[in-house]
Amino acid sequence: MSYPTVEEKLASLKITPATPHELRCMEKVSRGSYEIAVQRTADILDEGYEIFMRSSRSSMGVAGDSIVAMFSAHGDLVNASAGTYLHAIIPPIVIKYILKKYRENPGINDGDIFYTNDALYGGIHNPDQVAIMPVFHAGELVAWTAALSHTTETGACEPGGMPLSATSRFEEGMNLPPMKIGQNFRINNDIIELFSAFGIRAEANVTVDLKARCTTADRVRTRLVEMCEREGADFVTGLFRRMLIEAETGARKRLMTWPDGVYRCVTFSDAAGLKRGLIRNCFLTMTKRADHLTIDFTGTSPENLSSYNAHPQAVIGHLANYIYEYVFHDLPISSATFAPLDFIFPEASCLSPTPRAATSNAVMICTGAMSAIANCISRARFPSEDWHQTTASMGNGGNAPVIAGTSQWQMPFADMIAYTINTEGQGARCTHDGMDAYGFPWCAFGRAPDVESMENEFPMLVPFSQHWPDSGGHGKFRGGCGTTQFWSVHHVPMLFFLSIADNSSLQTPQPLFGGYAPPTVPGITIKDTKVTELLARLDDGTLDFHALIRGDFGEVQTEPNGRSARPVEADKTISVLMSTGGAGYGDPLDRDPALVQKDLLAGLCSAWSAREIYQVVWDPVRERVDVPATESAREATRKRRLARGKPYVEFEKEWSKRKPPEEIMNLYGSWPDAKPLAPVFRP
């Protein structure tokens, strides 16, 4: 085996130095031609992205949880259309691996299609798969194209591609190292059969998504060949090199606007797969010097015997979700924007595990890194002229309900209920609340499907989808509210259900500048009910979130939200699905009472929170805030804080003697520095 080392993967993220030929080509690209051609690359990629969504079969692909990208002949990312920025990081690692290992055998030729989904070789996790095609013109390799998306079935030990119970990569189904799956612009039939076999639970999703990736990569390839024919291959070569240089220049210029310093954030979660326990899922130290960032994960908990581990490039991909969306939003999605960033990963940690580790839930352990990078960058950025783009972290819950079985159309399927994951609340902004039901923190442009479409596709009933009140972290500006849904099996006798989630005992995101985090998310089920009868008598009351958790429609049972695959019978069980709210910003006592009033009237804030958190005196009859009484209440609360608060030294003296209960320390590592206590053995 020759999978790349961590050092080789990190080196592949750096752009290849310009050759003399590239520099000569670049000089021939005039400023005006450059501007037009950059836009042309964006148009080509947007066309590819649209084709990708329309060609995909699984919910994530249809929702646009994907990326379409083009690369230089060396494999450096030049531009992309997204989708999810997560995928932008990894293809250069794979393309550079192909260039290094496969030039002679199996060879790199016009019409070849390469493919991989293996995180050991540079992927995110094995549901995320990429088709890659070289672009040849007049016999010369001039570029590469790629299409990446998430397919919710891999033939793992549980349906849905992200098995909670996997303890090693051997339980995660299909893991393909970079390989040639087609030539002469055709996918090999034996490969399609391989995918069918691994995807037997949802063959249509798996094989159609495979073809969608290849179709998309080829469309972008075709457009680049047309550009070569129109403008000349040297023009494309020069254009790509100039795009890399401009992107790096822009990124460095932005970093120069922040004050130098060290910024830290530590985050936690409460489970790794089905194993409950405290885990320090990210200890991030970001050192900013001039136009350079060093991002160090030393102090993160050890790897574990679950699928909640992530290889380093996957972690960096999760940083890209925030960085491209909030920091480099006006620059090309390019390897060059990450050129000023270097990374340090502690060995055998959950963010840099050993090769046999299960990583199919990399996206879940990376919620810490996603949250921490938002927090650190916001701290570095607030003093700068871009201060108004400072935000608290997204909720980064990623709570993903998976259902599997046979549909009402007699089709085997395994898929996610995409509405839930695509309606999380945005982190509070420093000038506004976070947007309610903003989207999917992993996929800024993902679309929540209509409930009616989901009910037509899958054998289920979703009688309501609504905002989840109080789900955004409180603050001067609150996190955006997430959503809640009622779900039950319909049309078929039973389905399998599992829930990819954590954080029923604590939340991962840290708030910003005095705000609060979002609440935790339990797994909620109402059993032994009769759903159809319940719906028939809805004239008697209201079916909403509060009625459900109050027990109006049956006894409520809770458990950790992360749940393994289990059968659910039709008509007898209600599952309540939740998508997390964003973290809060600033002291809640600074919140404009008028905003609290607006939230109360909209049902987004409870009377309890208005009174206890925001100290707003509210007249529910007149539906007005008593402003003078509110001011008095807030001043009294500040005085209570002064009475309650202790000087730091005095507080820390007592605080540092405490420790969480021993029974929840099984995943954490040594206390408090989270170093490995023993090696992890996987047969």
Partner 1 sequence: MSTQNKIGVLNIAENLQLDLDTDTWVCGRCSCVIGSAHENVKHSLLVGERDPTEVHPPLIMGQPYSFAPNPEWVRILEFYCPSCGVQIETEYLPPGHPITYTTEIDLAALKNRLNQGEMVIENGHLKVVTT
Interface of this chain with partner 1, residues 600 to 629, rule: CB under 8 A? 608, 612-613
Give residues 484-503 in contact with partner 1 (rule: CB under 8 A).
none
Nearer to partner 1, 437 or 521 (CB): 521
Say whether residue 644 binds partner 1 (CB under 8 A): yes
Q: For the residues of 256-308, what is the DSSP string, one character each?
A: TTSPPEEEEEEEEEEEETTEEEEEEEEEEEEEEETTEEEEE-TTPPBP-SSS-
Residue 598: enclosing H or E segment and its boundaries? helix 593-602
Residue 28 and residue 234 in contact, taking contact as beta carbons nearer than 8 Å: yes
| Given 17, 20, 645, 679, the residue binding partner 1 (CB under 8 A) | 645
Q: Which of residues 241-270 bind partner 1 (CB under 8 A)?
A: 256-266, 268, 270
* Residue 439 CA: distances (Å) to CA of 394, 445, 446: 10, 8, 7
Residue 556's DSSP bridge partners are 526
Nearer to partner 1, 169 or 474 (CB): 474
Q: What are phi and psi of 341, to 5 degrees?
A: -110, 130
3-state secondary structure of 99: helix
For residues 378 and 374, give the distance between their C-alpha atoms in angstroms, rounded to a whole number.
Answer: 6
Which range, of 125-133, 393-401, 485-493, 551-559, touches partner 1 by CB under 8 A? 551-559
Instruction: Identify the residue whose tokens are 């201060």.
Output: 387
Q: Which of 159, 177, 182, 523 forms a contact with partner 1 (CB under 8 A)?
A: 523
Based on its alpha-carbon atoms, the radius of gyration of the chain, rounded to whole angstroms, reads 25
Residues 6+ away with beta carbon under 8 Å from 19: none
- Residue 384-423 contact track with partner 1, rule CB under 8 A, x = bound: xx-x------------------------------------
672 near partner 1 (CB under 8 A):
yes
Helix or strand holding residue 217 (H, E) = helix 203-231
User: 624 - beta bridge partners?
Assistant: 619
Which stretch, 25-33, 313-321, 616-624, 645-653, contacts partner 1 (CB under 8 A)? Answer: 645-653
Residue whose CB is less far from partner 1, 401 or 519: 519
Of 427 and 560, the one with the shorter C-beta distance to partner 1 is 560
Question: Which one-letter DSSP state was computed for residue 671?
Answer: T
The Cβ of residue 628 has, within 10 Å, a number of other Cβ atoms equal to 9
**Least distance from C-beta 131 to partner 1, angstroms?**
41
How far apart are CB 65 and partner 1 at their closest, in Å?
Answer: 28
In terms of CB distance, is 153 or 502 closer to partner 1?
Answer: 502
Cα separation, 328 vs 311, whole angstroms: 24
The two three-digit tokens of residue 458, written as one number: 């899958």
Beta strands 66-72 and 128-137 are: unpaired
Of the candidate spans 75-83, 180-188, 432-440, 637-645, the one that interacts with partner 1 by CB under 8 A turns out to be 637-645
CA-closest candidate to residue 363, choices 11, 87, 564, 3 = 87
Pick one of 47, 455, 590, 626: the residue that binds partner 1 (CB under 8 A). Answer: 590
Interaction mask 331-360, partner 1, x per CB under 8 A = ------------------------------
Residue 592 in contact with partner 1, rule: CB under 8 A: no
Does residue number 651 form part of the binding site for partner 1 (CB under 8 A)?
Answer: yes
Q: How far is the CB of 475 from partner 1 (least distance, A)?
A: 9
Plot region of 628 (φ>0 → left; ψ -120 to 50 → alpha; else → beta): alpha
Q: Is 515 in the site for partner 1 (CB under 8 A)?
A: yes
Q: Choose between 9 and 280: whose C-beta lies nearer to partner 1.
A: 280
The 3-state DSSP class for residue 255 equals helix
Residue 560 within binding range of partner 1, rule CB under 8 A: yes
Residue 653 touching partner 1 (CB under 8 A): no
Is 557 a binder of partner 1 (CB under 8 A)?
yes
Identify which of residues 648 and 681 has a Cβ nearer to partner 1 in the complex.
648
Nearer to partner 1, 77 or 370 (CB): 370
Nearest to partner 1 of 200, 677 (CB atom)? 677
Told to check if 556 binds partner 1 by CB under 8 A, we report yes
Which one of residues 6, 245, 344, 549 is an interface residue with partner 1 (CB under 8 A)? 549
Contact 170/412 with Cβ under 8 angstroms?
no
CA atoms within 13 Å, Cβ hemisphere of 32: 0
The interaxial angle of helices 312-322 and 367-381, nearest 10 deg, is 50
Paired sense of beta strands 341-344 and 292-296, if any:
parallel
Contacts of partner 1 in 462-481 (CB under 8 A):
474, 476
Residue range at the interface with partner 1 (CB under 8 A); choices 70-78, 194-202, 334-342, 658-666: 658-666
Of 387 and 409, CB closest to partner 1: 387
What tokens does 68 get?
């379409």
Q: For residue 144, give both structure tokens.
A: 């590469």
* 182 belongs to the binding site for partner 1 (CB under 8 A): no
Q: Quote the least distance from Cβ 289 to partner 1, whole Å.
A: 8
Nearest distance, CB of residue 132 and partner 1, angstroms: 39
What is the C-alpha to C-alpha distance for residues 522 and 509, in angstroms, rounded to an integer?
16
Task: Count the site residues for partner 1 by CB under 8 A.
Answer: 80
Q: Which stretch binds partner 1 (CB under 8 A): 37-45, 217-225, 441-449, 550-558?
A: 550-558
Of residues 59 through 78, those in contact with partner 1 by CB under 8 A are none
**Beta strand 179-183 pairing with 113-116:** antiparallel
Q: Is 505 in the site for partner 1 (CB under 8 A)?
A: yes
The DSSP letter of residue 394 is P
Locate tokens 């960033």: which residue? 341
Query: Which of 561, 573, 575, 615: binder of partner 1 (CB under 8 A)?
Result: 561
The site string for partner 1 over 285-314 (x = CB under 8 A, - otherwise) reads ----x-------------------------
The minimum distance between CB 460 and partner 1, in angstroms, equals: 24
How crowded is residue 139: how many other Cβ atoms within 10 Å of its Cβ?
7
Q: How far apart are CA 470 and CA 262, in angstroms?
A: 33
Query: Which contiguous run of DSSP H or E holds residue 649?
Result: helix 648-655
By the rule CB under 8 A, 664 interacts with partner 1? yes
x-marked contacts with partner 1 along 429-448 as a string, rule CB under 8 A: -x------------------
Contact 133, 184 (CB under 8 A): no
